[in-house]
Structure 1
């Protein structure tokens, strides 16, 4: 291979190393002006780089132990407004500290989560923020062994050495269910989120706790599985309506499913909240503009991304952080989708 042949093509550090007859690490040391390379070889590599119009990328810097100034965000989805606001919080805060964002989506699939994490290394990012459903011990061990600083979002790990940012989902769900009960509702259906999602389980626990405190018997027939999507909420609500079990309210474990539930109820010829009250969780933008506007539990979505990024950058800079788990509070937002029973 000659410099003339590959000039004007999309070059990699591998190409430069092959042309110079050296390792990628040697090229990286020259790019980053590190010692350990003879002057003769340094001049040779620099001439090849100049002749080829090669522009070094973050991987070249990472090979020499330099910071890439990239932060990685592993996230299930980008189309959902909840995740979009997490991304906004991470990106804006990253930019504030002169970091750029690398985004990796997994679609909530266990195999893809594992594959994405194992592909990421220190030559690509300086640190990772992770939102994943299938977090296991070997997953965490791999991250520790890689030596890349990382922070979890929405995963309350018991490992005292791991940093995480979570929301008090249980308390938020308890408050939401208590509100429905205060309006006279006792037959309340519940729409579960993704089966592997910790936050969905926490919200269900908060819901059950409210029933217990108010001496309301739990009816398992009023629970349907969704997947945190509008379509999932729509299908789950249709199943509830087809069962024939009586209920006067639905607590959906996120806003997207609550919006899907509204659609299913309207298709059945019923009205929200006249026939069925609905409450969601998240307070995404759409919750305030649907008909009727959705009562929901607000979690500080943007702040979650911001906080996780601030922690990660401190870890990247090797600053000591005493607190490992950061829990943010929720707030009940009352709108027009809930109504007191007569």
Structure 2
């Protein structure tokens, strides 16, 4: 069966333009609309009916609330949401909760300015989400577990990911393994740290406070946290960075100090962002399905708006990706 992406490709237009044409938007010219409609006829494209039976007050818009709109992790997540939204005739608005109670995000929640919301913002209070979710206005949450009516959870097995990263280092002879993360109350971070601690415990290794440093989940934060470790003079055997951006900053700090990765110290990250395989050396990391998270969240919103009854919790797997930043003994 032909998809909206097939129609867009055949017509030589973007996915958003094809969606506007198929759904009768006034945002495009009649000539472009005719070209898209002709391509749809040639491909025997059948418009997805999930979004066509919504009540008249529908805004045909999904909101995506993020904690950081600039990070490389979010580009894939946004793409996953956007493609499903456009495929089903919805526009997508992405925003942050910056501004507190006066933020656009809070207005979307309180005033129902969109049809449904996907939230990946751990600083947005649970109570605000619980009070906003209602029939006809579903909310999908990421990076937290929240139980309530009309609230749906898309989770990643972060604890297993944290365990796999730490276990790889242990199995390759590392005894002192630092953990660089953030002081963030992020649900995902807490589970990665839990997996790290569990692996240390299972292999009878200790976690010492001087090996647990705040890197703020940023490249600069990872760089500064690594400089602190280097300043302690006695380096650990390895470092597990709770995201790849911090690992990138760490590699830079080691290079400046003349410390070789992985000959002098092994490094493992988390996320498998695009940059990971292009670092020097390429980064061993835990891959989480960023695009699939966004795609699944958007599919849930569309199906819920169509009146389907769905499960409230979905857990996606993580995967260990071994590259050259980790010294292997087997």
User: What TM-score, normalized by structure 2, do the two folds share?
Assistant: 0.78
Counterpart-to-counterpart distance in 1, 2:142 and 2:206: 33
Question: What is the CA–CA distance in structure 2 between the aligned matches of 1:116 and 1:193, rounded to whole Å?
Answer: 26
Does residue 1:315 correspond to 2:304, yes or no?
yes
Larger-gyration structure (1/2): 1
**CA contact 2:135–2:150 (8 Å) conserved in 1:** no
For the residues of structure 2 that align with 1:340 and 1:144, how far apart are their CA atoms? 48
Q: CA deviation at 1:189?
A: 0.7
Task: Using the TM superposition, give the Cα deviation of residue 179 of structure 1 relative to its aligned residue in structure 2, in angstroms.
Answer: 0.3
Distance 2:169 2:191 in 1: 18
1:191 paired to 2:180: yes
Q: Which stretch shifts more, 167-176 or 131-140?
A: 131-140
Partner of 1:239: 228
Alignment of 1:12-91 (within 5 A): 65-91=56-82
1:141 paired with 2:118, answer no
1:120 aligns with 2:108: yes
Distance 2:243 2:101 in 1: 22
Q: Distance in 1 between matches of 2:281 and 2:105?
A: 41
Structure 1: give runs of 5+ residues left out of the alignment: 1-63
2:148 and 2:123 map into 1 onto residues whose CA distance is: 16
Mapped to 1, the partners of 2:192 and 2:85 lie a distance apart of 30
Correspondence for 1:328? 316
Over residues 96-126 of structure 1, what are the superposed CA-to-partner deviations in whole Å (9 max), with x where a residue is unaligned? 11111111124xx5x5377333211566311
Q: 2:283 aligns with which of 288, 294, 299?
A: 294
Partner Cα distance (2:106, 2:75) in 1: 24
Alpha carbons 1:71, 1:101 under 8 Å: kept = yes
Shift of the 128–232 alpha-carbon distance from structure 1 to 2, 3 Å rule, reads same
- Is the CA contact 1:88–1:302 (under 8 Å) kept in the aligned structure 2? yes
| Aligned counterparts of 1:93 and 1:161: Cα–Cα separation in 2 | 20
Q: 1:203 aligns with which of 192, 200, 204?
A: 192
Distance 2:71 2:247 in 1: 14
SS where residue 281 of structure 1 aligns? coil
SS at 2:279 equivalent: coil
* Separation of aligned partners in 1, 2:159 and 2:141: 18
Q: Are 1:277 and 2:272 an aligned pair?
A: no
Of 111, 132, 142, 1:153 maps to 142
SS in 1 for 2:309: coil
State the structure with bigger RCO (CA 8 A, min sep 6), 1 or 2. 2
Query: Counterpart in 1 of 2:86?
Result: 95
Which residue number corresponds to residue 10 of structure 2? none
After TM superposition, give the deviation of residue 258 of structure 1 in Å: 0.6
